[in-house]
Amino acid sequence: MMNAVQKTILPWIKPGLQRRRVLMTLAGVCISGVCVAFFKQAAFGVDPFQSLCNGLHQVIPISFGTLYMLINIALLAVAFVCYRRYIGITTFINLFLLGYFIEFSEQAIVALLGEPTMAMRIGYIVFAMVTLCFASSLYITADLGVSTYDAVALFLAEKKIAPFRFIRIATDLICVAVGWLFGYLPGVGTVLTAFCMGPLISLFSEKCAKPILYGKKK
């Protein structure tokens, strides 16, 4: 309990490194929500975890934001038992706010940019895939907790099952397969993201997120 309090309260009052952790966490989560909205507007398929959520959304008649929260609550219960050290402020922001932020971002994109052309859709998917990996590297490196889904691959990598990038590919492909079984047909963007997210998150963590947090010398 004390560790949870330290991670959620102290960053707001301590300057320096802890403040950067909080800013990286908030930026990473918000950018992730915008990226998922661009994925949906591109209509080439969403990222793998959203593919799973969209598959379940085909058969569960509630709003996407609420369904997303319920799925994450289920994963959170597993996390408390198996890998609670990955639970922090980021986990709860993802849990309670991200699904609704995705819905809001999608409405804003439609209002501002209108119906996308094919060229715009291609731009959307490239932007969304690369930027989502960058955003994920920000909040993972900040180490104030991660999303319940990200925690799965990080936990298995910590147990030396395989490097993070390979475990992430495997978990992403499982999400795509389950979403497909429930009726959500994966697009080319979903498949590309399943194979690219693990390696790109690792790359952005080393080349961007860690220098942002610790400085270039680190």
In this structure, which long-range contacts are made by residues 60-69, counting pairs with CB atoms below 8 Å and at least 24 apart in sequence? Answer: 63/103, 64/99, 64/102, 64/103, 65/99, 65/100, 65/102, 65/103, 66/99, 67/99, 68/98, 68/99, 68/102, 69/95, 69/96, 69/99
Question: Does residue 37 form part of some domain?
Answer: yes
Question: Does residue 83 form part of some domain?
Answer: yes
* DSSP-assigned letter for residue 18: H
* Residue 160 burial (C-beta neighbours within 10 Å; 0-12, 13-18, 19+): exposed
CB of 79 within 8 A of CB of 113?
no
Question: Does residue 106 form part of some domain?
Answer: yes
Domain interval for residue 37: 21-212
CB of 40 within 8 A of CB of 54?
no
Question: Does residue 217 form part of some domain?
Answer: no
Question: Does residue 80 form part of some domain?
Answer: yes
Round to whole Å and give the CA distance between 21 and 140: 10
DSSP one-letter string for 128-179: HHHHHHHHHHHHHHHTS---HHHHHHHHHHHTTSS-HHHHHHHHHHHHHHHH
Amino acid at 119: A
Q: How many CA atoms lie within 13 A of 18 on its CB side?
A: 11
Count structural domains, the chain: 1
Question: Does residue 74 form part of some domain?
Answer: yes
pLDDT of residue 56: 92
pLDDT of residue 135: 93
For the cut 80, the answer to whether the pLDDT of residue 65 exceeds it is no
pLDDT of residue 9: 44
183: closest CA among 57, 64, 74, 50?
57
Question: Does residue 30 form part of some domain?
Answer: yes
Whether the model clears a pTM of 0.85, i.e. scores above it, the answer is no
pLDDT of residue 198: 87
Round to whole Å and give the CA distance between 11 and 126: 33
Indicate the average pLDDT of the chain: 84
Which one is predicted more confidently, 89 or 16?
A: 89
Question: Does residue 116 form part of some domain?
Answer: yes
What is the tens place of the pLDDT at every residue in 129-165?
899 999 999 988 998 888 888 888 888 888 888 898 8
For the cut 50, the answer to whether the pLDDT of residue 2 exceeds it is no
